[in-house]
Amino acid sequence: MTDDGTTTAGATGTLGYEQARDELIEVVRRLEAGGTTLEESLALWERGEELAKVCRHWLEGARARLDAALAGPAEPRQSGDAPGEIGGGTADDD
């Protein structure tokens, strides 16, 4: 952590979405409260920008996963398999 209570920029890449979001909320709260020097405010702003990028990255990844899941089945069917047919065999295999 830095002396202003935020974590270093190097740790940003390892943050999960919830961690980044919670820290971003805290950064915004501190900026809105005021009472910080110009240098502290700039450092908080920069940290907030980094955290927003992390959150955006996680949300874009989640959106891509949802889009892929909604696009269709993840496993390709074997040739000869009809939708809903199990095993790909024919009824004459009995």
pLDDT tens across 13-26, in order? Answer: 689 999 999 999 99
Q: Look-up: residue for tokens 């955006």?
A: 56
The residue type at 35: G
CB neighbours of residue 43 within 10 Å:
17
Kindly report, residue by residue over 72-82, the tens digit of the pLDDT: 775 655 666 55
Whole-prediction pTM value? 0.63
- Give the range among 8-17, 32-41, 66-75 with minimum mean pLDDT: 8-17
Average pLDDT over residues 20-40: 97
- Rounded percentage of the chain residues whose pLDDT exceeds 90: 61
